[in-house]
Structure 1
Amino acid sequence: MHMTVWRNRKPLEREMQENTQDGTPGSWFRVTIPCGIQYDKTWLMNSIQSHCGVPFTPVDFHFMHNGAQFFVQEASTASALMDVSNKICDEESRKILVFVSPSAVPYSVRDKLKPEEMEQLKLTLSKRFDVSQQALDLQRLRVDPGLLGHGIDIILNRRNCVAATLQIIEKNFPELLSLNLSSNKLYQLDGLSDILQMAPTVKILNLSKNKLKSVWELSKMKGLKLEELWLQGNPLCGTFPDWSTYVRAIRECFPKLLCLLSDYENHCLVLMSDGQELPSPIIIDVDTPYVIKPCKESYKGSETLKSLVLQFLQQYYLIHDCGDRQHLLGAYHEEACFSLTIPFHSEDAAISSLCEYFKDSRNMKKLKDPHLRVQLLKHTKRDIVHTLCVLPKTQHDFSSFVVDMWFQTEMMLCFSVNGVFKEVEGSSQGCVRAFTRTFIATPASYSSLCIVNDELFVRDASPSETQSAFSIPMPTPSSLSQEQQEMVQAFSTLSGMKLEWSQKCLQDNEWNYTRAGHVFSMLKTEGKIPEEAFKEIP
């Protein structure tokens, strides 16, 4: 059944005469789409425009209750929009209604900033813009001295203020990546729905310390390709029954989100891997003392797990040091996460012997660029292995390894390894480094492990560590060349096998170190190498 949008269709001219303000005939019309909140704004507006016989510019688009609403000028545009009703169908073949009615002048037009006010706002925003990071800091904008000194009251809950701000951003900061709107007492985000069109490049949005009470407000910006979102200090953080429900609601608005900073219940920082929900966070109440209960180790299972972890480390570092680290792809989960840190400040990079590691180092305390922090957190196994491949080539001293398994469940194993390695190529050839590596892994096939999180810390080795590195004496078979002797020693160190077994493995593979490493890994995984082939590990 066709529904009329006006009960009594009077001539549009008469409607315009009756809708007056300050004695001047008005020409504004309100367009309402019932249940419009369930549709993507871009899709909805493109659909309406494609079915409308007259091009139009929507003013003050916003979601309200379950609907969507905007304003247009001119009776001809209003009449054309009336005819769009019932002509658009959504994915479930439901017809979309469009209601049109006369309106007073929209707030953003009626209260539009004067040219001199726009110029001062532009100057204020320019002072708050960081060109190097493409970041705009608008926190506590209302009390900015440059605005208060000129009697300009910018309240970002008002559509006219948000519209003016977005206009300046669109024209002057077209490649904006980070937008900080914290501490602005925001309780609704109606005006920010236009950010999709006017600042589509924004990846980082800070809405912390505002008054947002519902994720429904965030849905008004649905479609923005955010990678990092700050929500601390908003009432909405405590409106969900559990953590997973909260995360799903946020991801429905921003599916590409990598990093969510929130205070769900209490204070916590959550880093999210692409497309994966995380388990409930460990909550720390900062106002009261807390105790972390130790995880009890089962003696019965400890030896099995010890063997599994040591076997994994032997295989991992054998492949890592053999030359082609692309073969480490099989050790990582498809959506694994990796970070690297080194213990020095950026201003020391040029003189530090660790400069080869500096470009990939991620220190949240020192790194000020939030976008770079996300970039340096490597996601997906291909990005991780690519990063590992460009790091200096190494030889690890397995005899130096100190391994600690500090948490375990049926589906997760957390362990750390400390030790030393030396670089074998480049300007730092022969330099000894110390490292700490923390792995979080899940069970995989053939009694092996799959890495889901990998954190590596590298530093210069101390004099004592350098002196003791690679110091375990090994007999040298006299029948081998110097190069072959070094290969046997290196293979024995990395594989954990005795010298004679390492020599046999290399000889069987025609002294091809890489091939021997692959064969060793395969046979070890299948349990085909006898126990007597291995050295005892203290």
Structure 2
Amino acid sequence: MTPNNNSRQVIMNSNNREREERWRTVLRERNSPMPNRNFKGGRSGPRRLPPLRESNWYRVSIPCGQKYERDFIINTLLNYIAPNVFVPIYKTSATDASFYVDDYKTAVALQNCHYKITMSDGFKLKVKVKPGFPVYHIDDKLKERLKQAMVKRYVQNTNALNLSKFYLDPDLCSDYFCALVHPVMMTTVLDIVAEHIPNLKALNLEGNKLQNIERLSILTKKFSKLKILYIGDNKIRDIHQLDAIKDLKLEELKLTGNPVCNKYKYRQNEYVRLNGHYLENRNLLRVNDTIRRQKFLKQGRLPVVSFISEMPRTRHLLNTFTMDSLITRTMMSITITGYFQQLNIKEEPIHYFNRTFRIVPEGEGYCIRNEQLHISQPSEVQLNELHQQLNQLNAQQTQSEMETQSEMETQSEMETQSENLLKKQMALTLSQPTNMNLEWSLKCLRETQWIYDNAFAAFQEFFKLGQIPSEAFAK
């Protein structure tokens, strides 16, 4: 009896259908004359990945990575790309695992791990890297975590808050991505700070990859007492961006490490060289600390001479000096310009100076009400001319030295005597408030490089400790 094929029924469940479909796929691949798209020279492998473009952040995804422990994946990748290291912002989903890194070289090293690592179950680890920024939602729970993290970064003694590299904070980065480069996150953090620390005086925002600082304009409204702001090691490129913080009454602003500093690198080096002239801000109108004001104010002959002796040695080119004056009944304005050579540096650079005095009548004499000093670097043409003048001056000085050697020796002896007399006067002055004898006063000044203030401070310190012998007071 012949069966009726038209009435035959085949019943298959979903598992059987999936198994049959996979089997057909295998047979089709085996019988196909076309090579596998990943076929390379007789062996299969991953396709060549396109080069990675530079970005601030990169998303590293691990397909099927949800089946591995987080620490296991991170440690496996760290061991493979050593000595490179990274701090991941890790997330998992139903199908894969992903994390974010902020360094281009690290991202490239991770991309090179693709299909290079064999896991314990025999599978090759897939690592896909592309530019990407984490998506997050700011809720009350995150705000509470932000508060807890900032509490550890706040220094109560100086009323300062350190938010440098905030996105890498160990209390946050394991669960949240808190990058201040994101405007919403920056606003949220500053709102929290303003609520709890309205009298903040110092804020450090270094190393947060800030490119646009327009959002920092709210600092003027929220922190009226802010005096110190560090925004170095970011990605600020335009000097005009600083307009956002121009209304802040800052005493110290740090920009080091930003691309904008490269545009003024020449001027920056020049400032560093001139830094030796004034190590501290001596504008008493901007110094509120009473002790510092007293320290900066020099009264009397010896303190003034001692302060001048601390300044770098210079040689003024007197033939380049000019003087302009404007005189009225109520004021005199005198401007002196010229060039000088700094002698305490190996290169002995030449600088241009412009010094202006505002003098007004006071009592029976006159008083300098205002003084401004500007120092800058001459152009190459001016430097060449000045060096020629220096060579001529040096030749004339050499000839003069040979002709008047005996006179100079006499003058040197007089200067030595004058210097010894000045040192003796300094010792006598020191002996009055300290009650030490002349020998020990000279010894104290000698050990402090003849700086009167340092000598007196050293005496006070050792006197309190009881380390000055009684013979120092014997007369």
Q: Same fold (TM over 0.5)?
A: no
**Higher RCO, 1 vs 2 (CA within 8 Å, ≥6 residues apart):** 1
User: TM-score under structure 2 normalisation?
Assistant: 0.37
Larger helix fraction of residues: 2
